[in-house]
Amino acid sequence: MAEAVLAARELSRRFGGLTAVDRVSLELRPGEIHALIGTNGAGKSTFINLLAGELRPSGGTIVFRGEAVVPGRPERMARLGVGRTFQRSNVFAELSAFENCRLAAQARLPRPWALFERARSCETSGGAARRALATVGLSARAETRASELSHGERRALEIAMCLATDPGVLLLDEPLAGMGTEESHQVQRLLRELKPGRAILLVEHDMDAVFAVADRITVMADGAVIASGLPDAVRADPAVREAYLGDAL
């Protein structure tokens, strides 16, 4: 088994008297899609924000490639190669799909010495943007403004923006939200294609999609982990069925 690229060790986050994440440990390994599931309010988005550096933990440690990292530094996590998407579309609506990706690539690999170079002519960021758009199937929409893309295309664009930064870790927060069946299947195929060489954390409510693509599943309830393991074991876990899955699976 490959070593974890990114790991949480007893990670906690409290907001006053509320414990949103309670001593959660989880490892993300290259070549795996690790799904994180649970009801609304279980602590999933808070946990992903901790890993991405958007929030500082109240306790515990975040480890990247075997070394503890300074928490609460999103720019540091991004430059280490941790890319993330959000529950709601987070794109520059008036810019083209290409420009959204180019800006993302430029943020990961700034070139402050190139004072007199036009940003659009930078082959480093431009090449990364074109490759990312091709990967998610948006090459033909490269010059289309993000505001004119369909919902599914905007979600794909967010993933492309992550890919333009050349991440080794992808943190995807409900990428399938609001999608129809065909769009959902397209993203599922994309996730399988992205898996080799990357560690992927997938936070998702679509259980059909989760069990179709996940190599490992962790279930949260009330901020804590109640089960974690291979999909079949999680599916059969009585505590998971009682807390979340019910009779649906």
Based on the fold, state whether residues 120 and 239 are members of the same structural domain: no
Count of domains observed in the chain: 2
Whether residues 199 and 139 share a domain: the answer is: no
Q: Give the contacts of 213 (CB within 8 A, at least 6 positions apart).
A: 33, 35, 188, 191, 192, 202
3-state secondary structure of 220: strand
pTM of the model: 0.89
Q: 26 forms bridges with which residues in the sheet?
A: 8
Instruction: Say what the pLDDT of residue 178 is.
Output: 82
What are 209-236's pLDDT values in tens digits? 999 999 999 999 999 999 999 999 999 9
Domain of residue 155 covers 86-165
Closest residue by Cα to residue 232 from 244, 217, 245, 221: 217
SS3 content of the chain, % helix, strand, coil (to 5): 40, 25, 35
Lowest model confidence (mean pLDDT) among 80-89, 195-204, 211-220: 80-89
Tokens of 214: 């996940």
> Are 157 and 174 part of one and the same domain?
no
Residues 76 and 171 both lie in one domain: yes
Task: Kindly state whether residues 35 and 97 are assigned to the same domain.
Answer: no
The C-alpha angle 153, 105, 175, rounded to 5 degrees, equals 35
